[in-house]
Chain A
Amino acid sequence: MKHHMIKVGFILSIISLSGCASLGVQPWQRDLLAEPEMSVSANAVDLALDDHIYFSKEGSSGGRSFGGGGCGCN
C-alpha cells in the first residue's frame, strides 16, 4: 500500500513540475548552472566512495544512483 502511495506522489509531482513550463532559464542564463559544481554529477568520486561505505554499513542503498549489487561487502 505504502509503495503505491510513493508512486502516486511521484507521478503527481511530475505532472505539477512539467505543467510549469515557465520554470527554467534561457540558454544564456546558464552561467551559474554551467559551473561544474552545479552539475548533479559533481563530486562523483566522493559520492561513490560514500555510497560504498553506506552500502556496506546500512540496510538501504541507492536512490541518487543504482544501489544494487556491486560488491560482497554487504
Chain B
Amino acid sequence: MQTTTAEFKIQFHPDYASIQFSAMASPCDLLVDSQDPELIEKLALASVQETKRIENKFSRYLSNNLCHAINQSCGQPVEIDEECFRLLEFANTCFELSDGLFDLTSGVLRKIWRFDGSDNIATQAQVEQMLPFIGWQKIHYTENHICVPEHMELDFGGIGKEYAVSKVAELALKLAPSNSVLVNFGGDIQVSQAKAKGQPWQVGIENPDFDQQTTKLIAIRQGSLATSGDSRRYLLCDGIRYSHILNPKTGWPVQGAPRAVTVAANQCIQAGCLATLALLNGENAEAFLQAQNIQYWCLR
C-alpha cells in the first residue's frame, strides 16, 4: 500500500510504515512502528511542515527569510524570535566549549574556498582578506535582537539539519507517544523513543567513503547518530588533500582530519556538533572523541 502526494510518500511494510520526502538537500525518511494510516499521515504532514518551516527560516540560500535578513542587515539590529535566540545561545555554547573552533560566522570563507575536487586552493592573501569578517565574539545579540557587523554572515547550515532532525523526533514523540519513530535526514538520525519491545531499528546509511559505493547497516534502539565529513568535497594540490572543514581561526582547511566521523548521542544536534568538532580537531579527532566518553566511528 502506498500513498504519494506532491510532498511526501507513505509506504506500509509488514511491521512498520515509512514516510519519505525531500528537504534540506537531503532525502528525509521517517520509519514508524505502526500501521495506522491516520497516524502515519498526521506524522507525515507535521514532519514535512516542521522541516520546511526550519529550512525556510534558516536557509542561507533563500532571500526572503530570517537568515537573509540577518546577513543583509549591515550592522543594523534585526528582530529575532525565541527559537532563533535559542539557536544562537546553542551556537554560543558550542563556540565557548570548543575554544572558538565552532563558529557560525566562518561560512564567509566559502567565498574563497570551493571544494570541487580541483587543485584550486586559496592564497594566504585571500584568506587574510576574509579573516576580519570571522569571529563569533563580534556578534551581539539579546533575546529580541541581533547585530551582525557589515560583511559578516551567519551560516546555520552546520547545525540546521541536525536541529530539524531533533525537532521532528520531538514532534513525533508528541504525536505518537506510544510508538517509536526513527527520523533519518540523509544519515543524521534520531529515534523518538525505543520500541516497546526494545528491538532496534535497522537502517542503512550511505558509506561516506566515495571509493566504496556501499551501504552500511546499523542497528539503533534510541538516541541519535550524526555524521560529519564528505569525501566528495575536497581539494587536492601537490599531493595534499584539503578537507572542506575550515578552521575559523586560520581560515585554512583542517589538516589530518578523518574523512568522516559518526557520533552517537541523545540528541541529533548534540551528536552533530560533536562530529563537527572532532573534524575541526584534525589529527586529534580521535583523542577529542575519546575524552567525550561517547560511542563514535572514524573513517580515515
CB atoms of A and B under 8 A apart anywhere in the complex?
A: yes
Q: Among residues 23 to 37 in chain A, which have CB atoms less than 8 Å away from a CB atom of chain B? A: 26, 28-29
**Residue-by-residue, is B75-105 near A (CB-CB < 8 Å gives 1, otherwise 0)?**
0000000000000011001000000000000
A54 to B21, CA, bound (A): 69
What size tier do the contact residues of chain B reach? under 10
* Chain B residues with CB under 8 A of A29: 93
A43 to B177, CA, bound (A): 38
List chain A positions with a Cβ less than 8 A from chain B.
26, 28-29
Across-interface contacts of A26 in B (CB, < 8 A)? 89, 93
User: How far apart sit A29 and B97, CA to CA, in the bound complex (Å)?
Assistant: 10
Name the A residues within 8 Å of B89 (CB-CB). Answer: 26, 28
**Least CB distance, B180 to chain A, in whole angstroms:** 27
User: What separation, in Å, do the CA atoms of A29 and B89 have in the docked complex?
Assistant: 11
- Smallest Cβ-Cβ distance to B97: which chain A residue: A29
B94 nearest CB across to chain A (Å): 10
CA distance A54 to B8 in the complex (A): 72
Can you name 6 A-B pairs with beta carbons within 8 Å?
A: A26-B89, A26-B93, A28-B89, A28-B90, A28-B93, A29-B93
In the A-B complex, list the 6 residue pairs whose CB atoms are closest, starting with the nearest: A28-B93, A26-B89, A26-B93, A29-B93, A28-B89, A28-B90
- Looking at the assembled complex, report how far the CB atom of B247 sits from the nearest CB atom of chain A, in whole angstroms: 25
A4–B90 CA distance with the chains assembled, in angstroms: 46
Instruction: For the complex formed, measure the closest distance between the CB of B53 and the CB atoms of chain A, giving whole angstroms.
Output: 24
A residues less than 8 Å from B90 (CB atoms): 28
- CB neighbours (8 Å) of A28 from chain B are 89-90, 93
In the bound assembly, the distance between CA atoms of A74 and B112 in angstroms comes to: 79
In whole angstroms, what is the CA distance A28 to B270 when docked? 12
Please give me the residue from chain B that is nearest to A28 by CB atom: B93
B50-94 near A? 1/0 per residue, CB < 8 Å: 000000000000000000000000000000000000000110010
**CA of A28 to CA of B93, assembled, Å:** 8
